[in-house]
Amino acid sequence: MKKTLLFFLLSVFGLSLTYGQQLKPLYSKTDTLPRVVYKDLNERPSPKLEMQGKNYLGDGMLSLKSEGVKSVDINKERGAVVIELTPEYKPVLMSLSDIIKKYTNVKSEHVIFRIEDNLVQNNPNEVLVDASNIMLISVSPVKFIGDLEDLYMVTLVPRTDKNVEKLNQIRIR
């Protein structure tokens, strides 16, 4: 009986530590040292896209016109997000590298790409975006990275209602 009670109490205590709420919060305003977390950016799941019978990398999905998308389904067998477009929507698909060559004067191969707030983790030659739906291409030199003199951050902003309103806002200071 004592062994059973002891086993029960240890089990409850062990489970409460494992599944219970934290007694001490992870972060507080009184902390004096930062917490360091190492993340591999490639761990971010990037779905494969299937559009019009062709496969694409998932980063390009952020540039599609929402009104041009008829349906979005997940095909678990192929491990892809299947996007069906409306018949009148004809995206102009270009690689990120081609967009840089066509619309900017950046000659460097050291470019970090973002589509809105999402960093692109794939090869810029393989990530296709709808160039007809890109409203703004923001090019910023990054000057604080060691010996790299020609590093750029290129941000693509798709044409959405929210982005149009945000960029047309007049700020008075």
Average pLDDT score over the chain: 80
Domain count, the chain: 1
**Most confident of the ranges 2-6, 76-80, 110-114:** 110-114
pLDDT of residue 18: 53
Q: Is residue 148 scored above 60 in pLDDT?
A: yes
For 126, residues 6+ apart whose C-beta sits below 8 A from its C-beta are: 57, 95
Alpha carbons 49 and 47: distance in angstroms, whole number: 6
Measured from the Cβ of residue 47, the count of other Cβ atoms closer than 10 Å reads 14
Residue 119 lies in a domain: yes
In a domain, 20, yes or no: no
Question: Strands 54-57 and 110-115, how do they pair?
Answer: unpaired
Domain interval for residue 116: 44-168
By percentage, how much of the chain surpasses pLDDT 70? 80
- Please report whether residue 21 resides in a domain: no
139 occurs within a structural domain: yes
| Residue-wise pLDDT tens digits, 49-104 | 888 888 887 777 778 888 888 888 888 887 888 888 999 989 899 999 999 999 99
Mean pLDDT over 28-46 rounds to 73
Output the CA–CA distances (angstroms, integers) from residue 106 to 32, 139, 150, 158, in the order listed: 42, 8, 9, 20
- Highest mean pLDDT of the ranges 8-22, 85-99, 154-168: 85-99
In angstroms, the CA 96 to CA 71 distance is: 25
Q: How far apart are CA 116 and CA 142, in angstroms?
A: 17
DSSP 8-state assignment for residue 51: E
Q: Is 34 within the bounds of a domain?
A: no
Residue 65 lies in a domain: yes
Q: Give ∠ CA 111-98-100 in degrees, rounded to 5.
A: 45
In a domain, 37, yes or no: no
Average confidence (pLDDT) over 117-134: 88
pLDDT at 139: 92
pLDDT at 22 over 60: no
**Nearest CA among 60, 109, 105, 101 for reference residue 80:** 60
Question: What token pair was written down for 104?
Answer: 């900017």
Which of 30-44, 52-66, 149-163 tops mean pLDDT?
A: 149-163
Question: Measured between alpha carbons, how far is 100 from 29 in angstroms, rounded to an integer?
Answer: 43
Tell whether 137 is covered by a domain. yes
pLDDT > 90 fraction of the chain, expressed in percent and rounded: 17
The answer to whether 137 and 155 are in contact (CB under 8 A) is yes
Q: Let me know: does 92 contact 132? Beta carbons within 8 Å.
A: yes
